[in-house]
């Protein structure tokens, strides 16, 4: 496994489900990662946790991410992932959510570098594939030790380190600090993968070059527009109109249907994901380099990039609507549609029933990975 010159799909909790990864593959992604799995639950043979390690046959370069605090659990969970086709195992040391932090995993491990060193060393010794570590800059603005943690991980045998350019406390409220990522990349002899606020192909290009990282990882940029990988490869934007985007979402619904089965039980399972994804899809804006490359540095956060909806088509306004009830309705019409023409007709009928509200203002929720 070569960790240099790659564009990784981040290990996104809930968002990184197998059907969504397949959608990203169709749009140019070549390196995928599964959702974070709790190692201790994998060891217990939890069906829901084992499902997170499953890969599709089209995923030829697939990594599994685990959360662990005990070497034995990590090694045994990794063996399950390798048996299912994982090319490498990533240890989550950056997740900020309460459930993982209270279990002394995720970002908590950054506060105990010596314990982390033993954990990484044990994993390297006990696992047959490369081990990587994903970290944040630290616990808080006052407690930033990513440089030390990265050094410890390298000395313990990690083959690469991914750095999300924010602290645990910052979550997604501050712009990612790519200067800090660059500094750590210059200190390390193993590949450093940069992550944070990569929403367009030109930001990937510029931050990759300026920071000197070996590779980059895309999270929310992919959740908003899965075709970002295609844009990075082609070095130009693809700005699909509303109907074209509806077609992408219909394709995703079809992949969910294939994965969960086309029955009521399958619909029920898919609806745990599809409306959630539409909450990200609705944030798509055509941020072409001609208009945005100069101001991208001043607007690194997704929630500051909300151009006006004035003059947009009804279908465009619908796809930008931030209301959860609208996302649920769109999800169901996508599930029921036989083709794109039917999906469009039903979407326009929905517009008549629920006049769109603009998604260009207000709070923006986040995902983690």
Residues belonging to the active site: 95
Assigned token pair, 13: 């909790």
173, containing H or E segment: none
- The Cα–Cα gap between 148 and 112 comes to 11
Maximum distance among all Cα pairs of the chain, rounded to whole angstroms: 61
Helix (H, G, I), strand (E, B) or coil at 118: helix
Closest alpha carbon to 305 in 326, 319, 320: 320
Helix (H, G, I), strand (E, B) or coil at 193: strand
Q: Looking at residue 302, what DSSP letter applies?
A: G
- The Cα–Cα gap between 307 and 189 comes to 42
235, containing H or E segment: none
How many Cα atoms occupy the beta-carbon half-sphere of 319 within 13 Å? 25
Q: How far is Cα of residue 227 from the mean position of the Cα atoms in its chain?
A: 13
SS3 content of the chain, % helix, strand, coil (to 5): 45, 10, 40
Helix (H, G, I), strand (E, B) or coil at 218: strand
20 and 41 Cβ atoms separated by less than 8 Å: no
267 to 277, 329, 346, 347: CA distances (angstroms) = 15, 13, 18, 19
Assigned token pair, 175: 């712009």
């Amino acid at each position: 496994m070569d960790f240099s010159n790659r564009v990784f799909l981040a290990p996104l909790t809930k968002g990184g489900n197998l059907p969504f990864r397949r959608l990203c593959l169709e749009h140019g992604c070549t390196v995928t990662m599964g959702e974070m799995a709790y190692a201790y639950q994998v060891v217990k043979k939890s069906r829901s946790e084992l499902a997170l390690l499953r890969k599709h046959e089209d995923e030829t370069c697939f990594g599994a991410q685990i959360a662990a605090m005990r070497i034995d659990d990590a090694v045994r969970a990794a063996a399950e992932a390798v048996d299912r086709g994982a090319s490498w195992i990533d240890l989550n040391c950056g997740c900020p959510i309460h459930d993982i932090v209270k279990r002394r995993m995720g970002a908590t491990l950054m506060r105990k570098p010596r314990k982390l060193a033993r954990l990484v060393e044990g994993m390297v010794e006990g696992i047959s594939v490369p081990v990587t570590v994903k970290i944040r800059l630290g616990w808080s603005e006052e407690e930033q030790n990513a440089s030390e943690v990265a050094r410890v991980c390298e000395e313990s045998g990690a083959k690469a380190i991914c750095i999300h350019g924010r602290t645990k406390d910052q979550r997604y409220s501050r712009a990612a600090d790519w200067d800090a990522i660059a500094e750590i990349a210059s200190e390390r002899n193993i590949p450093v993968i940069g992550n944070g606020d990569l929403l367009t192909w030109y930001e990937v290009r510029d931050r990759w070059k300026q920071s000197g990282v070996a590779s980059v990882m895309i999270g929310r940029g992919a959740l908003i527009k899965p075709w970002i990988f295609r844009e990075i490869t082609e070095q130009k934007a693809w700005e699909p109109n509303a109907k074209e985007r509806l077609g992408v979402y219909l394709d995703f619904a079809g992949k969910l249907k294939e994965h969960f089965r086309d029955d009521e039980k399958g619909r029920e399972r898919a609806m745990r994901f599809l409306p959630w994804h539409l909450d990200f899809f609705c944030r798509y804006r055509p941020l072409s380099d001609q208009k945005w490359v100069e101001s991208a540095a001043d607007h690194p956060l997704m929630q500051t990039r909300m151009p006006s909806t004035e003059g947009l088509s009804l279908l465009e306004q619908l796809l930008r609507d931030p209301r959860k009830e609208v996302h649920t309705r769109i999800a169901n019409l996508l599930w029921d549609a036989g083709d794109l023409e039917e999906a469009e007709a039903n979407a326009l009928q929905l517009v008549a029933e629920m006049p769109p509200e603009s998604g260009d203002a207000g709070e923006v929720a986040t995902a983690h990975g």
